[in-house]
Amino acid sequence: MESGKLHVLFLPSFTPSHMIPCVNAARLFAAQGVKFTVISTKYNTLLFQTTIDKALELGQEISVHNLKFPSAEMGIPEGIENLSAATTLDILGKVHAAILQHQNAMEEVVEEISPHCIVSDMFYPWTVDLAEKMKIPRILLYPTSFISHCLSHNLEKYESCKSVKSDSESFLIPDLPDKIEMKRSQLEGYLKEETPFTKVIKSVKESEHRSFGLVFDNFYEFEPQYADYLAKVRGIRRYWTIGPLFYFSNKVGKSEKIADVNDSCLNWLDTHGTNEVLYVSFGSITKLSNAQLIEIALALEDSNQPFIWVVRKKENDQENQQESWLPEGFEERITKENKGFIIQGWAPQLKILNHPAIGGFMTHCGWNSTMEAMTAGVPLITWPLFAEQFYNEKLVQVLKVGVSVGAYLWNFSPVIEGPLVESKQIEEAIKKLMSNSEESREIRNRAKEIATLAKKAVEEGGSSYQNLLDLIAELKSHAFGVNC
């Protein structure tokens, strides 16, 4: 173990929504003179290689250790090394199993590297045992909201979902700072009955209490009531909010918000007025059925609202087969009228959200997307699908910074084939948010107020800025036995 310089090892879970916050956290540490190593695999590293390259250009001391992903052994196609890349349920299961198989290899690498501290994703609870064995701190990184932990905690504690007779009936989640109701259909399976994931969640929570502390990709001012409530009900002794990680890490790294890209969509945005365009994207994992895409297209056209729409398609769908998921003549009409811009695949989301023409974001309520929108001051149309997304929608409702399309079914699958959200329902939400009504103006103003708080949090003297310094000082004190 190198003396004199703090060396922190980061272990992200292999899915983009967890890898990116973890690497951004590593960049923050590096900007404060900390040496860091990230454990990854060949194809996963490609997702954040640009970030690593920029850190190296700034003279930061970083390294990436790529483990061999057991693709051939597990019958997984070459290049698929994370959950978002899985194209079928069968491959999804194999990828998950392959990730679990990495534990022994990861342990060997960590012991060989011998860092001063481990920062681990929530889905690696075993790292707390390894840290205790090595007599070093283990930090648990949560790329999630406080409200999501509060809701899941109370749902487990009070079992209030069992008070209703049907999945479609609303029930109250008791003992929260706000009145929050949900439907049983919006909950993950383990909250309704014992499932294999029940054991995983139990292990995560047990590792929480044995960890040196918790780090949240969040800023305290965003949801202070739920930060305080969680610490109280879960008995959390020590935690640090150091977010928004994507914004903070770019700020201290003195780099652009995102890598250079084809900016044709930004040029298109330049042709539209302030707050005029709706941005539509459902994250790095979600692929919607063709039938649902048609409903979205109909709603976008009927709303008469300019839009940028990011579409992730199934692997066997060719780009030139848009007639299967777009109404006849749709693309020709929106192009002629300059009403829409469709992106198939990856999009420069940060640049889009920060463009003045963007007035709203239709989103799946993933935490990264929610934080990026709030930091840009962009209000939301919420359409949660799985994971903790229905909880994040509740935060949007509590803060009054968006409107809902009315999604009601938790559904995790490579392609979401569930009940359709119909075009009229979607159109109504678009008009409600994007109009110039008093309600929409109030929603927009609240979003901009949150953006101001987010940016203040990472300024010198801000809550996230100070929390980062305090955390590093504690780790240095633990590693070297001196006050830093």
CA dihedral over 159, 165, 169, 170, signed as positive or negative: negative
Contact between 19 and 368 (Cβ < 8 Å): no
CA triplet 291, 297, 302: central angle to 5 degrees? Answer: 130
**SS percent in the chain: helix, strand, coil, step 5:** 50, 15, 35
The CB density around residue 420, as the number of other CB atoms within 10 Å, is 15
The CB density around residue 386, as the number of other CB atoms within 10 Å, is 17
Contact between 473 and 213 (Cβ < 8 Å): no
Q: Which residues contact 31 (CB under 8 A, 6 or more apart)?
A: 58, 60, 249, 252, 253
The CB density around residue 63, as the number of other CB atoms within 10 Å, is 13
Contact between 55 and 25 (Cβ < 8 Å): no
Beta-bridged to residue 171, according to DSSP, are 182
Q: Which residues contact 403 (CB under 8 A, 6 or more apart)?
A: 380, 381, 382, 429, 432, 433, 443
Q: How far apart are CA 141 and CA 139, in angstroms?
A: 6
Going by C-alpha positions, the residue among 149, 123, 84, 141 that lies closest to residue 392 is 149
Catalytic residues, which ones? 18, 121
Q: Which residues contact 291 (CB under 8 A, 6 or more apart)?
A: 420
**Left (φ > 0), alpha (ψ -120 to 50) or beta: where does 377 sit?**
left
φ, ψ at 112 (rounded to 5°) = -65, -45
The CB density around residue 181, as the number of other CB atoms within 10 Å, is 11
